[in-house]
């Protein structure tokens, strides 16, 4: 005969199996919801694994199509409010003061001329801190910097004292610090490349030129455009931008290295925009490319071999090898075509020309 205890245990078992003693009402199973997206999982472990891999939307601030990263973001030109955007941001704190929203932030940045912003972006679960440094120079001040640059570095034998003089003459021009620094880095780069300074080693030239490029690329002055194009050429970047540089020999060389038709094999050197360039680049531009048609293969190779090798970078040597390859092609010198093709065909800068 069933005991009272057995009857109670059976009733409890039926309750958990059916939801009630009669089984007419079901109990919803326990689930665990993702704390990011709300998706439900039958076990806590499954939910936890999902959350580990769950993409969390980090706050984003974009100015003129560029994302503002954690490092200092430089603004050198006036920015329209509509070109300042944010995503996944609930709160903005600017220089320790909370602003009402994206529109107020837009006005602050768009109206700034010389100002530093420390900005905290708060998302649903994450926080991002960015810095924006605004230095907008008047065009008249940039022109004064250009004039002083031409005055200090017009001679081919300038040295470190010219750099000191240039900095001193331009340090009072508001908003021009980055522009001036970019020009100084360029001069330091070519001084290092030509072994004309004791403060820098030959190998430092590439880092100085890269620093110069990152600073000058934000400006659209004729000087900045020309130097950026020159830096790309030194580093064997032969891409042709839409706008011409102010160095005719450089424009001709870029066409040559891209196998484009050049209207004239030579140019009038006295009509060039006067810019300081390193010795090897000047030799390549104003001698080997500008007077390319005057050389035979043997004379070109002989003159290249007589060049001071200590001032030639790897990129310079690659350009010279390409010149020899092209001249061997011109003269149908099969042996030398193969010889120089082996040197240049696998280089990224020239490999496209060897594809069928």
What are the strands of the beta sheet with 60-63, ordered from one edge? 66-67, 60-63, 84-87
Looking at the fold, whether 94 and 17 belong to one and the same domain comes out as no
Contact 222, 246 (CB under 8 A): yes
**Between the CA of residue 148 and those of 151, 158, 218, 307, what are the distances in Å?**
5, 14, 20, 33
For 26, the token pair is 């079901």
Q: What is the pLDDT of residues 64-95, one digit of tens each?
A: 999 998 778 999 989 999 999 999 899 999 99
Residues 6+ apart with CB under 8 A from 337: 325, 328, 329
pLDDT at residue 8, rounded to an integer? 61
Range of the domain at 106: 60-135
- Residue 265: the pLDDT is 45
In a domain, 158, yes or no: yes
Both 246 and 270 in a single domain? yes
- With contact defined as beta carbons under 8 Å apart, do 179 and 142 qualify? yes
How many structural domains does the chain have? 3
* Per-residue pLDDT, 350: 81
| 73: β partners | 132
Q: Read off the pLDDT of each residue in 154-172 and give the average, rounded to a whole number.
A: 88
| Residue 128, SS3 per DSSP | strand
* Residue 79 zone, left/alpha/beta (φ > 0; ψ -120 to 50; rest): beta
352 within some domain: no
Within 8 A by CB and 6+ apart from 227, the residues are 182, 183, 186, 212, 216, 275
Identify whether residues 189 and 76 lie together within a single domain.
no
pLDDT tens, 238-273? Answer: 988 766 677 888 989 999 999 887 765 445 544 455
- Residue 328: inside a domain: no
Taking only the tens place, the pLDDT of each residue in 134-149 is 999 999 999 999 999 9
Domain check: are 42 and 103 in the same one? no
Same domain assignment for residues 119 and 220: no
How much is the pTM?
0.78
- Is 170 a residue whose pLDDT tops 70? yes
Residue 299 lies in a domain: no
């Amino acid at each position: 005969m069933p005991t009272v205890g057995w009857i109670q245990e059976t009733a409890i078992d039926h309750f958990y199996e059916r939801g009630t003693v009669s089984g007419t009402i079901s109990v919803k199973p326990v689930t665990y919801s993702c704390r990011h997206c709300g998706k439900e999982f039958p076990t806590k472990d499954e939910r936890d694994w999902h959350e580990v891999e769950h993409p969390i939307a980090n706050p984003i601030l974009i100015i003129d199509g560029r994302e503002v990263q954690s490092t200092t973001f430089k603004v050198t030109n006036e920015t329209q409010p509509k070109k300042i955007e944010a995503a996944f941001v609930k709160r903005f704190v600017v220089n320790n003061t909370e602003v009402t929203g994206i529109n107020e932030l837009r006005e602050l940045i768009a109206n700034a001329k010389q100002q530093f912003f420390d900005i905290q972006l708060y998302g649903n679960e994450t926080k991002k801190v960015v810095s924006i440094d605004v230095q907008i120079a008047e065009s008249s001040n940039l022109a004064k910097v250009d004039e002083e640059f031409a005055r200090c570095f017009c001679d081919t034998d300038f040295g470190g004292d010219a750099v000191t003089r240039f900095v001193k003459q331009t340090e009072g021009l508001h908003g021009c610090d980055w522009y001036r620094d970019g020009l100084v880095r360029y001069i330091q780069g070519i001084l290092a490349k030509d072994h004309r300074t004791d403060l820098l080693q030959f190998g430092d030239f590439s880092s100085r030129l890269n620093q110069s490029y990152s600073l000058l690329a934000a400006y659209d002055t004729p000087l900045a455009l020309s130097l950026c194009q020159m830096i790309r050429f030194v580093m064997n970047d032969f891409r042709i931008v839409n706008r011409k540089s102010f160095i005719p020999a450089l424009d001709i060389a870029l066409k040559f290295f891209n196998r484009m038709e050049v209207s004239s094999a030579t140019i009038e050197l006295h009509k060039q925009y006067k810019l300081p360039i390193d010795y090897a680049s000047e030799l390549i531009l104003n001698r080997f490319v500008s007077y390319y048609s005057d050389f035979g293969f043997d004379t070109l190779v002989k003159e290249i071999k007589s060049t001071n090798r200590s001032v030639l970078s790897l990129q310079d040597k690659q350009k010279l090898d390409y010149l020899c390859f092209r001249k061997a092609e011109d003269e149908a010198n099969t042996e030398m075509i193969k010889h120089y093709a082996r040197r240049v065909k696998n280089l990224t800068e020239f490999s496209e020309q060897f594809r069928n």
